[in-house]
Amino acid sequence: MARSKAWLVFAVLALCAAAMAGQKRDLPPGPAFDSSVVALPDVGQVKPIDKKSDLPIKIAVIGMENNPFWIPVKEGALDAKAELAPLNCTVDWIVPAGDAHTSDFFGNTIEACIAQRYDAIATVAGDSGLVPYINRAVDAGIPVATFNVETTEPNKRLFFVGADLNLQGREAGKVMAGLIGGKGKVAVQTGFFSVEGHEQRRLGFEEALAEFAPGSEIVGRMETRDQADIAYGQAQDFMLAHPDLAGIFSAAGGSFGMARAVEERGKAGQIKIVCYDFMDEVMEYVAKGVITGTIGQGPYAQGHDPAIRLYNYIVGGVVPPAARLFNDMPFVTRDDYLDWWTPPADWTPPAK
């Protein structure tokens, strides 16, 4: 009898756990996978709907902290956490072990979020290996958003927040073509060849450079792993091997390390540098004219908006206006950097 009661209790608990783990909300379908919209008016400022969840909600935002780019991304996620706390919603900023955006590190973290019964997940999606993990989460009733980079392989994610990465690369290629006068040697640095978003940028850059600067030559492609010290050493090698180097393109993190190498070699302004992002370390070199120009991608919005939009979707059935919510991508130079950047209080502007 006691044994039968024990099995009955176990069965009831198992059924309850299964129901909780597999519970699916009656949510509207999301937008078409390839649909896109650029620069929504509320980018970085999207608000939660005026409705408190009856049940506690947990949202995981899975990001990185391997270089300064991620500081405003994390700030955005933490601000979303503060905004959603009064609405019975918790937002957790989660950093997987490892230093790459790939499924090797992010896949297990998504699996853990499924097991811990998060109600929604926002994640970087660096390669197609993450598609099965994203789809498993959605099949378990957990809406997924991606941000920063995502795979082009179709999957069940609800929406993406970030830049149009291939277009960013093409814009950089056009700019570089003009800066070098249509000819010259150009070196290419990327974060990770295995991260599809970085490759979208790199390939877009190279396609546009070949189109608009037919006299140009790419003399090398190297992987910085988003680290400034690695980019610094590679830039030194490029300049040593090619004294007539005309330009360096950085598709991902570590660009300020490369800029430091160019400045120390006394080639600021001579070697044209095009890169991405508005973090302090980059903008200080833009201000000095070492970095010729940098392209933005809205890192704060990448951390902030996915959590808010996921809450609005779960609680209010609010469907995003498109599946790819592309941020604006301004090209900023020494002439207008102060329109886009607030320097640290102790920073002294360089003489022009």
Q: Please, what's the b/e burial string for 122-152 (b: 16 or more CB within 10 A of its CB; e: otherwise)?
A: bbbbbbbbbbebbebbbebbbbbbbbbbbbe
Amino acid at 39: A
For 49-77, what is each residue's pLDDT tens digit?
A: 999 999 999 999 999 998 899 999 999 99
Which pLDDT score is estimated for 129? 96
Contact 323, 134 (CB under 8 A): no
Which pLDDT score is estimated for 247? 98
Band the pLDDT of 98: cuts 50, 70, 90: confident
User: One fold for both 32-163+298-321 and 165-295+332-339?
Assistant: yes
Two tokens, residue 148: 């920063």
CATH of domain 32-163+298-321: 3.40.50.2300
Segments making up each domain of the chain, as ranges: 32-163+298-321, 165-295+332-339
Two tokens, residue 191: 């974060």
For 149-198, what is each residue's pLDDT tens digit?
A: 999 999 999 999 999 999 999 999 999 999 999 999 999 999 999 999 99
Q: What's the average model confidence in pLDDT over 133-141?
A: 98
For 205-244, what is each residue's pLDDT tens digit?
A: 999 999 999 999 999 999 999 999 999 999 999 999 999 9
Contact 323, 159 (CB under 8 A): yes
Spell out the residues 6+ positions from residue 161 whose beta carbon is closer than 8 angstroms to its own. 145, 146, 147, 301, 302, 305, 306, 309, 325, 327
Domain 165-295+332-339 - what CATH class?
alpha beta
Which pLDDT score is estimated for 4? 43
